[in-house]
Amino acid sequence: MRLTCLAFTLAVALAAARGAAPIKTIALSPTRLPDGLDNPEPVRDLFDSLLAGELAHAGVTVIPSTEAGAIWKRLADSVHGFYSAITGERVEAKYRAVMDGTRRELADRFHADAWLRPRIEVVPVDFQDGKARWDGASEGMGRGSSGTAPALSLVVSVSDMSGTEIYSGRGGIRVLSKGSKNISRDKFFEDSKRNLQALHLAIDSLAARLRVSP
């Protein structure tokens, strides 16, 4: 059993023990992307759309990412950002205030039961015998090759409206370099099959449980 599936099962059991209501409405944040993409908005729109479609197919009401994104930006602007101008480090008190404020507004205005925050990460991947395997995905790297390469993964985190994480999932997208050849940035997300595979790896166990919620 995948760890994400087990984590979600345990979270649901704990919620049921507390008499918590099932998830009927879920808020979606804009997909956070790695730095350096030449044209990030189409990528963000793509994954926001894929996630929203899969959640809706599971039978829940989806609050569009534009709503959570607008709330987050307004609250972040109200505290002049949450990174120190001196150290460049995140100021946890400000960050927590923005997180808590966004969560409260999503619950109050939209009656959200949960908040899903997706991101795409660059992760180091070890490979051997010409095959890279990470976060449920695999990709050929050249016959007999071994080493470490950067790769992309879709990561999702779902919290309830008290701030407790109730689900996390990951799905590998693609490697970013093979040997001395780096993949062009405009081709990172051109493979729709790999994008969809990453989506399903990251959220299928969540979607399955949403479909059977009473």
Reported as a single tens digit per residue, the pLDDT across 54-68 is: 999 999 999 999 999
How large is the average pLDDT for residues 115-138? Answer: 97
Q: What's the whole-number average pLDDT of the chain?
A: 90
Does 16 have pLDDT greater than 70? no
SS3 state at 196: helix
Mean pLDDT of 139-155: 94
Kindly report the CATH number assigned to the domain that includes residue 180.
Answer: 3.40.50
CB 174 within 8 A of CB 211: no
pLDDT band at residue 21 under the 50/70/90 scheme: low
Counting residues of the chain whose pLDDT is more than 70, the rounded percentage is 89
159 neighbors 103 (Cβ within 8 angstroms): yes
- Is-above-0.85 flag for pTM? yes
Find the domain containing 21 and state its range: 3-211
Mean pLDDT calculated for residue range 34-45: 94
Question: DSSP string of 101-142?
Answer: HHHHHHHHHH--SEEEEEEEEEEEEEEETTEEEETTEEEE-S
Question: What was the pLDDT predicted at 181?
Answer: 87
Check whether 7 has a pLDDT greater than 60: no
pLDDT exceeds 50 at position 17 = no
Instruction: Determine contact, residues 170/164, Cβ cutoff 8 Å.
Output: no
Number of domain units in the chain = 1
Mean pLDDT across the stretch 180-197? Answer: 93
Asked if pLDDT for residue 131 goes beyond 80, the answer is yes
